[in-house]
Each structure stands twice: as structure tokens, then as C-alpha cells.
């Protein structure tokens, strides 16, 4: 058998659900709803206009009441559904051929069993408010450090798996520091942690990191991406805007641990709070971060409507992981969201005092002049939310076109009915909507937020599709844990740092990421977490890490965006010479990537795999291509970091062995093995010989980057050590969170 | 067997330089691997006619009235108002809204070309000379009326950015043919006068919600042909080779210790990066091209970053098995000084476009390479600006009817398709929508456009959204 074939068979076998006839009851949520959603809802789901045969299969009351009966609980053979999905007649068989959908035998069998077991329906899990599940209990077990561990371990044991051993302390410190700060631990931090053998060392370290100003910077990155933050407007001309005061607000909010409910309310509706502070107004920039179209010949109203819809989609994705945007042109095909509800929700964003034009020096009104955080006396104008005096009418827009309103019915503001009802007294404004989102009974907000916290710490959310909690999204790997975490978040007053602390102090988080020789067949993707996940760091963290390790990083909080290195001609090439890139100099070259000027139409070229800032994005990508290798090998940023680190190593007295160990500690937070040590010694020797033979190259190497070279060092030595360091900075471990 | 390691190995092969020798559809594997695509059905739905696509995208919207849509009868209407029933209250841009609409018949003669006798403007004699190879579509239409949304629609299937581009879909659906170069390459150029061009946004060749390794790799007109291709100062290829060998050794030690198959992938990607450092300069070095070939493409061919230069590179990329080559040439947006700008623009693009088709043909590559030439919409038959001053008039955007052509892999040459009304204003026969173009091109590549899908945000997305018809009438 070819390896490929056996691989496929393995995968097929390992992903098929258990179907033993005497197995446990079929679980509607896990086994049946996804099948019905994928294969049936398109024509027998929420969308009234395309519904066939007046049959709706997504809610029990309609599916079971259909006449003639489609489902007869307990009697598959008498159920038309079963008859239709097993018919041999292509005219009768469901799903129809032209739908390009089909059910496998296994899937049909699941449906048969489900009917036989009573055809029980339940509402989609994410639309029902989480109730606090009771955690599984274990006899005193040192591995179960907190409730997270009980849920994870209970699930592992169901599949006869156990936790992996705890990772070694160096790996752990590097992991934690990268996860919470987006930076590697310093030499001093590492040695202090290793020396701290008293109980509670881990918890103390966690608290130290959560209190670091670098924490807020790191956490802000994903929020900026979700909010489609950029320093320019996008589209034709791509003019510069002024939104970094909002960025500073986000960083401060994370550092001050602003509770998530307030974080939400201030960003969605800070302008409607009683006597809002200027910073609460700045917070509303969240929904002004969308692109602005300044193309000649564009109709301003078309732009304005586009922005309203963008805010609607973004808000639904970020807070509710709902694909509400699918209901723009028709009722949602899979989730109970109507087109009318889409436009009702859009009404919250439809009455801004805006024109659809870029009418405020690169910004678009409404704008606000504010003090810059941390720089008293300095003022800047930034975009905010502010309603106009009279409300605009909202209608359903045919095909989402601005010039095709369905004027038969003026729509009131409103939230989708399938979720939590909107309380009468808060119902009329954006503020009411924001409060509704943070209502403890809201079925989605807390779940979606804790899932993102999980995603930050494990690389993948408990719900892998962190952007879609709907019927077509992936069900949670640990539904009860997700609900427990959601209720815990609310219970703790939406305290984000507390939740992070809870997760990183668990055994689950502290497991080693070493892949066992025999990968558990029941869990090839490690979704059950029988080990720690191991994955490549995002590009922005790789860059920040290189700056930190080489000592180049300038730790300065907030402020305007900066322009670090970029290959010449990129912007000019893009804009036919209308816009050129002038890199900054000095400290501005070495700020964290968070502060890099982000041109929307052509982002920083070394930020591979980072989301573009055109639309909201909540799930990071991780791919592995030669272009990434070229970036890390050849980008001036990395070449300079290697050179400067080489100088740093050489500046301290010592021998080759000591320097190799120190480079390992700085880059990988560990010491080399004898084998690795020998390998690098040989590399160093060869590089030295190479540069002795090619002194011109050594001199050329010395002037890589603008950081002034240390004058008293031997150029051959610097170049040879630079080669060793660059090798280490490129090794898989250095760019991986282990 | 170590299934996971094998799978990662395969994924790696697929990610960037993979798949060719493997007898299974990329997409099929993708389904098994991440359950996110509907896969086994994707690849090779039918026997493909073409293996690759070269899209000569003409940014800014070439005027069909002056180039391809022969309407001799219009001379009689010159300077007269466009009849109301023709205009029909359609949407206009803010540039010509509410202004008079006087018919501006073309100033250039048309003539029949080739055995087929297709009428083409005398501005395009070289394209005329390949008339028997091309199918000229005279009934293309779109909904979009502004450049960026219209280009985005052609290249991603939707007006708003966010969807994967044409080439990304092909990379996802078909995988790669070469181990030396990216699957999807992009080059841009602009008109000589730099008078009327729009920017090229990265989403025109982006991967949208597909994994980013499907996005187009931009070949640049200046500096490194591919970003970060050259070593930094003081590091030569000999030293680099030694360092990469040591890096692989170091990575293998780690791989042994932590068992993560992704490390093997990393090692392979670094090796491929090294290969690219040779294959890309080899690709862009034109010194091996004989003089008669260079002359075919015209004098501009020597100028790096020109359309002619890019056309020749496109042929070289096609020869090397690149799936999708996207050339974008700006400068067709002639609102105000059309007579001068158009003549210059045609001179710069006519010869290289035709040379590419001829060159592919003489190498036996045209049969398996589909070439597309066209912009994002057309231009109005009525005048924008001063009717009587030819340095101050031009044509506005016109989405209702325009022309484009295709040649090679699976396309019936020497034909025309569709027809506009007497004013080149509305489609009169056989409408050909943007999504129809996409469906037809995918068909030529052996793909059913309704079955090349990717699940994102709970929905199966496709290039043609929920539209598109394979226009069989133009296929061989």
C-alpha cells in the first residue's frame, strides 16, 4: 500500500464518527444538526424565500408538525425524511443531485438512529445562554490544578488519554512570556525564574508579566486586526488618517484591565454615555477603522452605506461570531437571522453625522480633537462616533445596494430575535445594543470572548471557527468547558487578566509540546490537548523578538506610527510614484511592530501571514512557505539584528563556547546540547575562515542596517558571529512557540 | 508508518512547491486534512483543455467603441444627443451625471483582419494579426461602475475586497506544476505618460480566506524581482549554502527531540527559498533570448517593468509551468484626453500582447495556455468633456457593454461572441457577464465552477459566487 493511500485510510477511519449500533445515543447537537445544516438548510432552513415544500428542518416545531409527516419519532421507515434520503430514484432522492451535496452511508445511518431514538431537536448550542456546568470531579490529583484541568482531563480519559508531562521550566517561561508579552524572556528574567524554587514561582511570574506595559501592547495586536485598523484609508489615493489615538486607548485598556463589558460599551457607544470623557469618545474609533473610499466619481451615499454595513458585519463577528453579513441580500441560509434583522441591526450605525466623503484632512467626520495619551498639551484630531441630530431612516436594501431601499417599511433599531430579547427600556440606541451585548444572559458575547482568549494561548480556539459560532461553524471541542469559562468570565466581572491567569496556571497550559512517537489516533490534531500545542510565532512577534534579543528594541508606549525598514520602491511602485516610503531613523526603526505604519493597500512587506486590514479578521493564519524563509534570512531588519547581537556577544569577554551558550540562552532560553554546541562551533569556524578569505565581505557585513557598528571590534569576528546568530534566529525553534 | 509525519510532508509539498507527482487532488487532501474544503470533487471535473492562464488585465477600462466594437453607423450621430431610449436612465458616475450626452463616434478606421475577417480598429494592427487565434467577446457586462470594485469583481468574483483571487482559486484547486517557482505570479506596469492610471491593490492577487500560500507572488519591476530574494550585504551564496546546511542539521536535531513534523516542512521551505534565489534570476535574465524574439515584443521589451518586458516574462513563466500569470497594465482611464492617450497606450500594448500569443503558439504552448485580454468595464459612446476639442475630451465609465478577448487553451479562435446595440451601449445578443468569464475559464482548466468551493464563515464560497454560466459557444 502506498504511504499516501494508507494515510488517507487512516484519516478517513480516524475522523468517522462512532456508529456502533449499540453505542451511546446520537447527539443531535454534535452529530445531526451539522448534517442537516450542511445538506438540507439551504432549501429547508431559515430563508423563507427559497424554502422548498414549505418544510423547515432547523426548528423542531416546524419539522415535527409538517403534514404529511416528515419525521415520525421512533419510526425511521415511516419518516418521509428517511425515505427521501435513501430513495434510489434520483428524482426523489435528497439532497437533490444539482445541490452538489450528498450524504454518506454513515451519515444516513446516524440520521436513522436519531429518528429511531426519538428525533429529538435542540436549538443550536450557541443561541442558548450558557448555564454553568458542574465540573467533573477527580480524587485528589495533583494534575488537576483548577477547573479547566478537570474538564480537559475528563475528556482525555474518555479516549484513554492522559496529560503529557509538564514542560521544562525554560520552555515554560519562554512560552508564557511570548504568549503574554509577545517578547522572549531576558537573561535576567530567566535566571531569576530558575533560581526561584519556592512554591508559587509560576504564579508570581504570571503576575509580573500581566503587570508589564508590554502586555497591553501584545494583546492589542489582535484587537487592531479585528477592528481593521490601518493608518491610511485604502482605495484610490489611500490618504493618511489619524487613528493611533484609538490604538493608544486600546493598549491602555488592556494594561488597566478594563473589564470586557466596559471595553465593549465604550468602544461601541462611548459617545452615548452620560457626559463621556474624551477618552471614552476616542474608544468609539473602533467602528471608524473601516476603509474610506475617495475614488473620483464615487457616489458619497454609496460609500456611506458601505461603511454602515461594514460596522454591522464587524460588530456581529467580533462580539457574536455571527455571520450576520450573510443576511444582507436574503435571510440567512443556516442560522435564524432574517434579512430584515440584518438591516434593523445596521440601523444602530446608520445615523452617524457623516457624509461618505473624506472631509476632514484625511479623516472623515465626525472627528474630535483630543489630548494625546501620555503627552500633555499635544492635540490631535481623530475619528469618533457621533450621531446626527435627526435619525436617518433605515430600510431593507435590495442586494445591499444603497440605491435600492425597500421603502414599504421603515425599520426600527433592533437585535436578532433568536438571541436574547432586547429589554424595552434600553432598546432605542447604540448604547442599548452595547448593554444588550454585555447582558450576562447573552448567549454569545462571553463565549466568543473566552474562545478568543483560548485562541491566544493555545493557537486554536475551543471553537476552531472563532469567526463563526453559527450552525455551519465547527462545534466546540469542549462545550462544557467553554460554557464554564463564559460563566466564569461574567462571574469575575469580565476580568480579562483573571481569565488569562486562570488558563496559564492550569496543568493543561503547562504541558510539554513534545509530540509522542505514537500520535494518538483518536486525536491527530491535538484538539483534545493531550500535549501542549507547538506552532510558529506570528510575523510581528518574530520581528519584535529579534529586536529584543539583539538589544535594539525601543520600549516606548503608544504614540504615532513609525516607519521601519522596507525594501526601496515598494510604495512608489504601487502608486506610480505618487507615494514614496521614507524610512524613519534612530529609535523609530526599533519600535514594536504594533506601531509600524500600516498602509492599507500595501501593508508592511515583512509581516507575512498577518491579516490585511481591509475587513475584520479574528482568526490568524499560519502557513509555511519559502517566501517566509527569504524574509527571515534577507530582510534588513533581521540581518541587522543578527549583526548587532553578534557585536553584543563579542563586547563581553569570553570564549567561543561561552558565547555560543549565551546566544542560545538569549534566543532559545536554553543551553545547547553537546551535539548542537559542536555543530555551531564548526559553523563558526567555517564562517571565520570564509571571512578571512573574503575580507571585503566582512567589511560589507559590518554596515548592514543603520545601527552604528561598535568601532573596536574585529570585522571578521563580527561577520562570523553574525552568521552563527542568523542561523540561530532562523532555526525552527526560534520562530516557534513550544 | 507515521501518518502525521506523512501528512505534514504532503501538506508541505502542497503548500508551496508541492503536489505535482502525487496522484491525488490537492483539494481532496485539504478536505481530509482540515475539513474545510469540499475536496474530492474539486479537481479534474472534466478533461482540461488548458493547464494555465495568462491574464493580461487592462486596468482602467479600454474603450470598446474605439478598439473592438465596430459601429460604422455611428458616424451619422456624431455630436448628436444619445437617444433617450438607449440610455434608459442607467446609473452614471458623478463625472457625467446630469450633463449632455453627445455621441462621439470613433476617430479611427476599423478593418477586417485574418481569414475570419473580424473587424478591429487600426489602432491595434498586431492584435489584428492574431485575429484568427482569438475569440472576441463583444457583449461583456458588469454591475460595477468604479475601478476598484469592478476590477475586484473580475479578479475575485465580488465587488468588495475579501474574497480569494482568480489565481488563488486555481492554486487551491489545481496545485502546482513546477517545483522551482510559485504557482501564481503577478506583474504590474503602467502607461508611458503615467497620465491616467489607478493603483494596484494587493487584494487583486490576494488569497482572501484561503491559506495565504495561495496568494500571488509579485514580481517587481525594480529592485529584487521577488521581495527579499537577495542576500544581505556581506553574505554570498557560498556562505549561504553552508549556513543552510547547518541550519537543516540543527533543525533535524530538534525534529528528533520534539517530533513535530512541521520542522521537516520548515527545512524543505528553506531549501526551496535557496532554489528560488537561483531560479528567479534565471527566469528574469533575458540574455538567452534571441534577437528575433526580443524584436517580436517590440522596443519596450528591454525596459524592465514595461508591459512588453512583462509579456515576455509571462511566456517564460508559462514555459516553466506557472499556473496563473496575472499581468496588470494601467492607463486606460481616458476621461479627458482620449485621442492622444489612447494612441500611446495602444502602441505600448498592441505589439507585446500579440507577440505573446504568437510566441506561445510557435512553441506549441498556446494549446495549453489560455490568454485573456480585457479590462474591468468599457467606456461610454458619448463624449465626456469638450466635444469639439480633442485634447479635452474622452469617455466615461461604461459597465453595460464592453469587449474582451481570449485565445488558446480551449477557446475557438477566429470567432466573435455576442453583439451590442447600434450605439455600443447595451448588450443586444448573448450577454457575457464577469462570472460567465470566470466559469468558462475554470471549465477550460477542467474545473466545474460550482464545485470548486471553500467553506468559510459557514458558507461554501466559490469564485463565481452564486452565478456564472459556462459559455460553451466559444469553446473548441
| Contact residues for B62 (Cβ-Cβ < 8 A; gap 6+) | B332, B345, B374, B375, B378, B379, B402, B403
A-chain CB neighbours of B7 within 8 Å are 7, 11, 524
Q: What is the mean pLDDT of chain A?
A: 92
> Cα A647 to chain center, whole Å?
37
Task: Inspect the interface and report whether the beta carbons of A470 and B250 lie closer than 8 Å.
Answer: no
- Mutation for A interface: B168, B458, B461, most A CBs within 10 A: B458
User: What pLDDT score was predicted for residue B5?
Assistant: 34
Residue A555 has pLDDT above 60, yes or no: yes
Q: Does B394 touch chain A (CB under 8 A)?
A: no
Three-state helix/strand/coil letters over chain B: CCHHHHHHHHHHHHHCCCCCCCCCCHHHHHHHHHCCECCCCCCCCCCCCCCEEEEEEECCCCCHHHHCCCCHHHHHHCCCECCHHHHCCCCCCCCCCCCCCEECCCCCCEEEECCCCEEEECCCHHHHHCCCCEEEEEEEECCCCCHHHHHHHHHHCCCCECECCHHHHHHHHHCCCCCCCCCEEEEEEECCCCCCCCCCCHHHHCCCCCCHHHCCEECCCCCCCCCCCCCCCCCCHHHHHHHHHHHHHHHHHHHHHHCCCHHHHHHHHHHHHHHHHHHHHHHHCHHHCCHHHHHHHCHHHHCCCCHHHHHHHHHHHHHCCCCEEEEEEECCCCCCCHHHHHHHHHHHHHHHHHHHHHHHHHCCCHHHEEEEEECCCEECCECEECCCCCCCEECCEECCCEEEEEEECCECCCEEECEECCCCCCEEECCEEHHHHHHHHHHHCCCCCCCCCEEECCEEECCCCCCCCCCHHHEC
Which option is the CATH number for B44-222+304-474: 3.40.50.720, 3.30.230.70, 3.40.720.10, 3.30.43.10?
A: 3.40.720.10
Name the phi and psi angles at B345, rounded to 5.
Answer: -60, -40
- Mutation for A interface: B99, B232, B256, most A CBs within 10 A: B232
Cβ under 8 Å to B: A residues 667-696 = 673, 675-676, 679-680, 682-683, 686-687, 690, 694
Q: What average pLDDT does this structure show over A107-134?
A: 91
Quote the percentage of chain A above a pLDDT of 90.
74
User: What pLDDT score was predicted for residue A120?
Assistant: 87
Residue spans of the domains in chain B: they are 1-16+26-40, 44-222+304-474, 232-289
- Mutation for A interface: B233, B275, B330, B334, most A CBs within 10 A: B233
Q: What average pLDDT does this structure show over A298-320?
A: 96
Point out the least confidently predicted range of A11-25, A148-162, A265-279, A599-613. Answer: A11-25
Q: Does B16 touch chain A (CB under 8 A)?
A: yes
β-pair partners for B217: B185
The three-point CA angle B31-B33-B37 to 5° equals 25
- Residues across chain A: 738
Nearest CA-CA distance, residue A275 and chain B, Å: 38
Strands (E) in A351-412, as ranges, are 367-372, 375-383, 396-397, 405-406
The 8-class DSSP code of residue A621 comes to -
Q: Does B147 touch chain A (CB under 8 A)?
A: yes
User: What pLDDT score was predicted for residue B260?
Assistant: 87
Helix (H) or strand (E) holding A736, with range, is strand A736-737
Closest alpha carbon to A247 in A581, A562, A624: A562
User: What pLDDT score was predicted for residue B151?
Assistant: 96
Rg for chain A (alpha carbons), in Å?
Answer: 28
Nearest CA-CA distance, residue A141 and chain B, Å: 27
β-pair partners for B369: B52
Task: Inspect the interface and report whether the beta carbons of B257 and A514 lie closer than 8 Å.
Answer: yes
> Is the Cβ–Cβ distance between B136 and B146 less than 8 Å?
no
Condensed to tens digits (0 to 9), the pLDDT of residues A433-474 reads 999 999 999 999 999 999 999 999 999 999 999 999 998 899
Nearest CA-CA distance, residue B419 and chain A, Å: 28
| Measured distance CA(A214)–CA(A254) in Å, rounded | 10
B-chain CB neighbours of A296 within 8 Å are 95
SS3 (DSSP) at A377: strand
Which candidate from A473, A633, A703 shows the least CB-CB separation from B458?
Answer: A473
Condensed to tens digits (0 to 9), the pLDDT of residues B308-350 reads 999 999 999 999 999 999 999 999 999 989 999 999 999 999 9
SS3 (DSSP) at A567: coil
Task: Inspect the interface and report whether the beta carbons of B4 and A519 lie closer than 8 Å.
Answer: yes
User: What pLDDT score was predicted for residue A426?
Assistant: 64
With a cut of 50, which residues of chain B have pLDDT below it?
Answer: 1-42
Q: Does B251 touch chain A (CB under 8 A)?
A: yes
Task: Inspect the interface and report whether the beta carbons of A732 and B32 lie closer than 8 Å.
Answer: no
Condensed to tens digits (0 to 9), the pLDDT of residues A674-727 reads 999 999 999 999 999 999 999 999 999 999 999 999 999 999 999 999 999 999
Cell triple for residue A150?
A: 478537570
- Interface predicted TM-score (ipTM) of this complex, two decimals: 0.90
| Measured distance CA(B396)–CA(B82) in Å, rounded | 14
| Measured distance CA(A290)–CA(A293) in Å, rounded | 10
User: What pLDDT score was predicted for residue B43?
Assistant: 64
Q: In B157-177, which positions are buried (b, 16+ CB within 10 angstroms) versus exposed (e)? A: bbbbbbbbbbbbbbbbbbbbb
First to last CA, chain A: 34
Residue A236 has pLDDT above 80, yes or no: no
* 3-state percent helix, strand, coil for chain A, nearest multiple of 5: 50, 5, 45
User: What pLDDT score was predicted for residue A427?
Assistant: 52
Cell triple for residue A104?
A: 454518506
List the single residue in A with minimal CA-CA distance to B244. A727
Cell triple for residue A394?
A: 433605515
Which candidate from B202, B254, B459 shows the least CB-CB separation from A732?
Answer: B254
Quote the percentage of chain A above a pLDDT of 70.
96
| Contact residues for A390 (Cβ-Cβ < 8 A; gap 6+) | none
Task: Inspect the interface and report whether the beta carbons of A515 and B451 lie closer than 8 Å.
Answer: no
| Measured distance CA(A385)–CA(A307) in Å, rounded | 12
Q: Does A164 touch chain B (CB under 8 A)?
A: no
Q: Does B249 touch chain A (CB under 8 A)?
A: yes
Q: What average pLDDT does this structure show over A278-299?
A: 92
Residue with cell 437571522: A337
A-chain CB neighbours of B24 within 8 Å are 4, 8
Task: Inspect the interface and report whether the beta carbons of B223 and A473 lie closer than 8 Å.
Answer: no
Q: Does A625 touch chain B (CB under 8 A)?
A: yes
CB atoms within 10 A of CB A441: 13
Which candidate from A515, A567, A732 shows the least CB-CB separation from B251?
Answer: A732
> Is the Cβ–Cβ distance between B226 and B217 less than 8 Å?
yes
Residue spans of the domains in chain A: they are 21-122, 216-437, 536-738
Residue with cell 567589511: A699
The 8-class DSSP code of residue A72 comes to -
Name the phi and psi angles at B391, rounded to 5.
Answer: -90, -5
CA atoms within 13 A on the CB side of A226: 22
Task: Inspect the interface and report whether the beta carbons of A629 and B269 lie closer than 8 Å.
Answer: yes
Name the phi and psi angles at A228, rounded to 5.
Answer: 50, 45
Which candidate from B16, B222, B239 shows the least CB-CB separation from A723?
Answer: B239
First to last CA, chain B: 47
User: What pLDDT score was predicted for residue B34?
Assistant: 37
Condensed to tens digits (0 to 9), the pLDDT of residues A475-519 reads 999 999 999 999 999 999 999 999 999 999 999 999 999 988 887
Closest alpha carbon to B187 in B49, B20, B356: B356
pTM of the model: 0.85
Residue with cell 527569504: A630
Residue with cell 529584543: A548
User: What pLDDT score was predicted for residue A8?
Assistant: 39
Cell triple for residue A692?
A: 578571512
β-pair partners for B374: B57
Q: Does B236 touch chain A (CB under 8 A)?
A: yes
| Contact residues for A525 (Cβ-Cβ < 8 A; gap 6+) | none
| Measured distance CA(B259)–CA(B404) in Å, rounded | 53
Which candidate from B22, B206, B228 shows the least CB-CB separation from A612?
Answer: B206
Task: Inspect the interface and report whether the beta carbons of B457 and A673 lie closer than 8 Å.
Answer: no
Tell which phi-psi region holds residue B403, choosing left (phi > 0), alpha (psi between -120 and 50) or beta: beta
B-chain CB neighbours of A533 within 8 Å are none
| Measured distance CA(A363)–CA(A382) in Å, rounded | 7
Q: Does B347 touch chain A (CB under 8 A)?
A: no
Condensed to tens digits (0 to 9), the pLDDT of residues B433-459 reads 999 999 999 999 999 999 898 887 777
Cell triple for residue A54?
A: 414549505
| Measured distance CA(B166)–CA(B157) in Å, rounded | 8
> Is the Cβ–Cβ distance between A659 and A647 less than 8 Å?
no
Cβ under 8 Å to A: B residues 82-101 = 91, 93-95
| Measured distance CA(A47)–CA(A56) in Å, rounded | 9
Helix (H) or strand (E) holding A536, with range, is strand A535-536
User: What pLDDT score was predicted for residue A576?
Assistant: 79
Task: Inspect the interface and report whether the beta carbons of A621 and B260 lie closer than 8 Å.
Answer: no
Amino acid at each position: 500500500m502506498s504511504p499516501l493511500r494508507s494515510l488517507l485510510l487512516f484519516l478517513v477511519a480516524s475522523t468517522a464518527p462512532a456508529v456502533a449500533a449499540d453505542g451511546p445515543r446520537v447527539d443531535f447537537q454534535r452529530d445531526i444538526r451539522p448534517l442537516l445544516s450542511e445538506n438540507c438548510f439551504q432549501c429547508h432552513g431559515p430563508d423563507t424565500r427559497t424554502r422548498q415544500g414549505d418544510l423547515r428542518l432547523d426548528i423542531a416545531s416546524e419539522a415535527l408538525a409538517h403534514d404529511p409527516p416528515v419525521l415520525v419519532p421512533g419510526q425511521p421507515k415511516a419518516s418521509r425524511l428517511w425515505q427521501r434520503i435513501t430513495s434510489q430514484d434520483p428524482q426523489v432522492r435528497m439532497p437533490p443531485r444539482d445541490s452538489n451535496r450528498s450524504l454518506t452511508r454513515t451519515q444516513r445511518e446516524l440520521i436513522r438512529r436519531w429518528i429511531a431514538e426519538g428525533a429529538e431537536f435542540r436549538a443550536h448550542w450557541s443561541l442558548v445562554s450558557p448555564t454553568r456546568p458542574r465540573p467533573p470531579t477527580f480524587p485528589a490529583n495533583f494534575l488537576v490544578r483548577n477547573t479547566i484541568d478537570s474538564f480537559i482531563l475528563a475528556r482525555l480519559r474518555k479516549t484513554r488519554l492522559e496529560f503529557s508531562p509538564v514542560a521544562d521550566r525554560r520552555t515554560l517561561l519562554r512560552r508564557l512570556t511570548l504568549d503574554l508579552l509577545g517578547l522572549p524572556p531576558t537573561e535576567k528574567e530567566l535566571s531569576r525564574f530558575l533560581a526561584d524554587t519556592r512554591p508559587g514561582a509560576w504564579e508570581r511570574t504570571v503576575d509580573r508579566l500581566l503587570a508589564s506595559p508590554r502586555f497591553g501592547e501584545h494583546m492589542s495586536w489582535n484587537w487592531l486586526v479585528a477592528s481593521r485598523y490601518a493608518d491610511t484609508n485604502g482605495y484610490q489615493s489611500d490618504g493618511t488618517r489619524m487613528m493611533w489615538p484609538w490604538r493608544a486607548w486600546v493598549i491602555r485598556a488592556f494594561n488597566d484591565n478594563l473589564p470586557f463589558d466596559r471595553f465593549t460599551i465604550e468602544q461601541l457607544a462611548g459617545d452615548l454615555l452620560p457626559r463621556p470623557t474624551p477618552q471614552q469618545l476616542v474608544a468609539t474609533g473602533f467602528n471608524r477603522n473601516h476603509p474610506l473610499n475617495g475614488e473620483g466619481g464615487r457616489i458619497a451615499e454609496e460609500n456611506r452605506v458601505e461603511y454602515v454595513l461594514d460596522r454591522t458585519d464587524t460588530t456581529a463577528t467580533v462580539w457574536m461570531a455571527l455571520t450576520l453579513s450573510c443576511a444582507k441580500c436574503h435571510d440567512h441560509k443556516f442560522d435564524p437571522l432574517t434579512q430584515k434583522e440584518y438591516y434593523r441591526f445596521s440601523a444602530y450605525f446608520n445615523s452617524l453625522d457623516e457624509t461618505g466623503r473624506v472631509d476632514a484632512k484625511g479623516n472623515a467626520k465626525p472627528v474630535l480633537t483630543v489630548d494625546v495619551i501620555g503627552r500633555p498639551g499635544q492635540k490631535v484630531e481623530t475619528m469618533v462616533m457621533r450621531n446626527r441630530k435627526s435619525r436617518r431612516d433605515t430600510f431593507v436594501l435590495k442586494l445591499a445596494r444603497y440605491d435600492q431601499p425597500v421603502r414599504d417599511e421603515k425599520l426600527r433599531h433592533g437585535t436578532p430575535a433568536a438571541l436574547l430579547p432586547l429589554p424595552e427600556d434600553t432598546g432605542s440606541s447604540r448604547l442599548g445594543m452595547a448593554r444588550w451585548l454585555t447582558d450576562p444572559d447573552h448567549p454569545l458575547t462571553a463565549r466568543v470572548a473566552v474562545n478568543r482568549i483560548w485562541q491566544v494561548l493555545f493557537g486554536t480556539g475551543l471553537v476552531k471557527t472563532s469567526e463563526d459560532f453559527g450552525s455551519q461553524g465547527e462545534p466546540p471541542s469542549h462545550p462544557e468547558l467553554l460554557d464554564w469559562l463564559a460563566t466564569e468570565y461574567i462571574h469575575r466581572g469580565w476580568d480579562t487578566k483573571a481569565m488569562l491567569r486562570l488558563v496559564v496556571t492550569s496543568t493543561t497550559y503547562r504541558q510539554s509540546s513534545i509530540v509522542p512517537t505514537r500520535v494518538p489516533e483518536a486525536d491527530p490534531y491535538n484538539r483534545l490537548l493531550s500535549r501542549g500545542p507547538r506552532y510558529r510565532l506570528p510575523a510581528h512577534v518574530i520581528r519584535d523578538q529579534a529586536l529584543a534579543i539583539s538589544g535594539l528594541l525601543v520600549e516606548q508606549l503608544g504614540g504615532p506610527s513609525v516607519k521601519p525598514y522596507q525594501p526601496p520602491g515598494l510604495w512608489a511602485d504601487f502608486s506610480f510614484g505618487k507615494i514614496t516610503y521614507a524610512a524613519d531613523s534612530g529609535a523609530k526603526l526599533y519600535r514594536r511592530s504594533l506601531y509600524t505604519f500600516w498602509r492599507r493597500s500595501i501593508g508592511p512587506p515583512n509581516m507575512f501571514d498577518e491579516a490585511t486590514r481591509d475587513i475584520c479578521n479574528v482568526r490568524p493564519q499560519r502557513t509555511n512557505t519559502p517566501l517566509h524563509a527569504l524574509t527571515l534570512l534577507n530582510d534588513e531588519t533581521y540581518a541587522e539584528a543578527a549583526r548587532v547581537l553578534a557585536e553584543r556577544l563579542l563586547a563581553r569577554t569570553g570564549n567561543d563556547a561561552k558565547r555560543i551558550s549565551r546566544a542560545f540562552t538569549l534566543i532559545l532560553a536554553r543551553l545547547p546540547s553537546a551535539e548542537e554546541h559542536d555543530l555551531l562551533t564548526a559553523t563558526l569556524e567555517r564562517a571565520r575562515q570564509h571571512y578571512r578569505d573574503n575580507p571585503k565581505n566582512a567589511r560589507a557585513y559590518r554596515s548592514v542596517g543603520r545601527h552604528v557598528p561598535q568601532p573596536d571590534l574585529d570585522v571578521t569576528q563580527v561577520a562570523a558571529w553574525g552568521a552563527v546568530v542568523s542561523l540561530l534566529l532562523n532555526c525552527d525553534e526560534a520562530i516557534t512557540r513550544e | 508508518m507515521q501518518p502525521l509525519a506523512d501528512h505534514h510532508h504532503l501538506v508541505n509539498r502542497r503548500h508551496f512547491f508541492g503536489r505535482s507527482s502525487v496522484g491525488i487532488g490537492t483539494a481532496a487532501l485539504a478536505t481530509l486534512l482540515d475539513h474545510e474544503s469540499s475536496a474530492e470533487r474539486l479537481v479534474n471535473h472534466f478533461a482540461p483543455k488548458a493547464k494555465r492562464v495568462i491574464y493580461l488585465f487592462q486596468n482602467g477600462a479600454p474603450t470598446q467603441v474605439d478598439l473592438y466594437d465596430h459601429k460604422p453607423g455611428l458616424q451619422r450621430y456624431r455630436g448628436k444627443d444619445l437617444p433617450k431610449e438607449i440610455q434608459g436612465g442607467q446609473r452614471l458616475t458623478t463625472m457625467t451625471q446630469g450633463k449632455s450626452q453627445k455621441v462621439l463616434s470613433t476617430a479611427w478606421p476599423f478593418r477586417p483582419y485574418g481569414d475570419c475577417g473580424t473587424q478591429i480598429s487600426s489602432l491595434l494592427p498586431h492584435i489584428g494579426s492574431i485575429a484568427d487565434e482569438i475569440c472576441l467577446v463583444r457583449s461583456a457586462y458588469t454591475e460595477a461602475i468604479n475601478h476598484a470594485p469592478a476590477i475586484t469583481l473580475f479578479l475575485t468574483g465580488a465587488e468588495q475586497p475579501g474574497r480569494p483571487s482568480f489565481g488563488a482559486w486555481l492554486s487551491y484547486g489545481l496545485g502546482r506544476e513546477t517545483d522551482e517557482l510559485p504557482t501564481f505570479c503577478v506583474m504590474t506596469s503602467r502607461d508611458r505618460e503615467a497620465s491616467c492610471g489607478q493603483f494596484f491593490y494587493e487584494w487583486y492577487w490576494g488569497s482572501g480566506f484561503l491559506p495565504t500560500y495561495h496568494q500571488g507572488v509579485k514580481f517587481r519591476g525594480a529592485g529584487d524581482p521577488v521581495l527579499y530574494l537577495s542576500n544581505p550585504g556581506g553574505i554570498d551564496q557560498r556562505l549561504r549554502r553552508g549556513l543552510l546546511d547547518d541550519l537543516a542539521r540543527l533543525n533535524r536535531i530538534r525534529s528528533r527531540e520534539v517530533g513535530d513534523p512541521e520542522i521537516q516542512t520548515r527545512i524543505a521551505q528553506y531549501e526551496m527559498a535557496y532554489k528560488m534565489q537561483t531560479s528567479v534570476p534565471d527566469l528574469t535574465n533575458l540574455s538567452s533570448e534571441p534577437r528575433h524574439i526580443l524584436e517580436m515584443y517590440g522596443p519596450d521589451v528591454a525596459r524592465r517593468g514595461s508591459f512588453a518586458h512583462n509579456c515576455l516574462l509571462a511566456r517564460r513563466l508559462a514555459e516553466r509551468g506557472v499556473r496563473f500569470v496575472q499581468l496588470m497594465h494601467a492607463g486606460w482611464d481616458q476621461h479627458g484626453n482620449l485621442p492622444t492617450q489612447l494612441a500611446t497606450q495602444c502602441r505600448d500594448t498592441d505589439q507585446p500582447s500579440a507577440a505573446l500569443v504568437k510566441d506561445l503558439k510557435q512553441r506549441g504552448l498556446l494549446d495549453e495556455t489560455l490568454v485573456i485580454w480585457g479590462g474591468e468595464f468599457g467606456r461610454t459612446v458619448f463624449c465626456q468633456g469638450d466635444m469639439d476639442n480633442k485634447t479635452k475630451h474622452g469617455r466615461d465609465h461604461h459597465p453595460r457593454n464592453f469587449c474582451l478577448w481570449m485565445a488558446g487553451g480551449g477557446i475557438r479562435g477566429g470567432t466573435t461572441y455576442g453583439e451590442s446595440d447600434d450605439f455600443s451601449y447595451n448588450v443586444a445578443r448573448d450577454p457575457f457577464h464577469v462570472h460567465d468569464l470566470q466559469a468558462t475559464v475554470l471549465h477550460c482548466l477542467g474545473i466545474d465552477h460550482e464545485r470548486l468551493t471553500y467553506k468559510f464563515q459557514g458558507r461554501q464560497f466559490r469564485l463565481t459566487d452564486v452565478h456564472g454560466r459556462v459559455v460553451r459557444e466559444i469553446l473548441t
